Amino acid sequence: MSPWRVGTPLVVLVCGGLCVVSAVNSHGTDLRPGYTDLATLVGSEASSYKKLEQEVATLQKQVTALTNAVPDRDVKKAQQRADAVKAPAGLTAVTGPGVTVTLSDAPRDLIENTTGNVNAMVVHQQDIQAVVNALWNGGATAVTIQGQRIISTTGIKCSGSTVTLQGVPYPQPYVIRAVGDQDALLSALEDSHYLQIYRDQASDPSIGIGWKLALDSEVRAPAYRGLLDLNYARPLPDGT
């Protein structure tokens, strides 16, 4: 008898068995769920981050309550010192007049049909950072990106076609808001040499990168709710 007549049914039986095992283990769900688009991925990551953020906030409240319940004078003094720096550290909400800057990629059809430099047509990490730095230079009391409060340890990182902020990827357009004196903030944005080049590119129809600036009578910057642990390097002992 030809080995193919025996081997073919065996292969079919094995494949069928594997399909049954996969169906049982998955309980009717996809064992390898995929993301059909960037928006789905971003939404999933943002949702996971929100859940973790809520857990951190709950645990922080418990820690604060337990700390306040300790009948120790030194602990009370330390807590008072910590409370005094919460505002400048970004751990309290801030509301007031300010500005909103929105950065966005050029239209897709313009990018796909361009014969020029595509990099000039999309928003990069350094573009967002330039806006944030200018706002700090203008005396902003609070800055947010995509609604997330920016503090001294916040990192802005490019990740493909998204920007990752505090571990969460965000697609463009990037909305940057600041609370502070509007005239001072506008002057700082105007004086930034980097942003002058960006605005020139935004006004060039062949580049078309997005730039919008608006004055707001009220900007709300929530308190930072992320992790506060610091990671840093330690020097090696002498002679090692």
Residue of higher predicted confidence among 214 and 47:
214
CA–CA separation, 60 and 86 (whole Å): 14
pLDDT tens, position by position, 159-191: 767 888 877 888 999 999 999 999 999 999 999
Cβ–Cβ contacts within 10 Å for residue 195, how many?
A: 20
Q: How does DSSP classify residue 124?
A: -
The label of the residue with tokens 């990106």 reads: 145
Q: In the chain, what percentage of residues exceed pLDDT 90?
A: 45
Cβ–Cβ contacts within 10 Å for residue 186, how many?
A: 15
pTM, to two decimals:
0.68
| Superfamily name and number for 87-221 | Protein of unknown function DUF881 (3.30.70.1880)
Of the candidates 159, 154, 123, the one whose C-alpha atom is nearest the C-alpha of residue 41 is: 159
Q: Please check the confidence at residue 34 and state whether its pLDDT lies above 50.
A: no
pLDDT tens, position by position, 52-98: 667 766 776 777 676 667 677 776 677 677 677 778 788 899 999 99
Residues in contact with 148: Cβ distance below 8 Å, sequence separation at least 6, in sequence order: 154, 165, 166, 168
Confidence of residue 104 (pLDDT cuts 50, 70, 90): very high
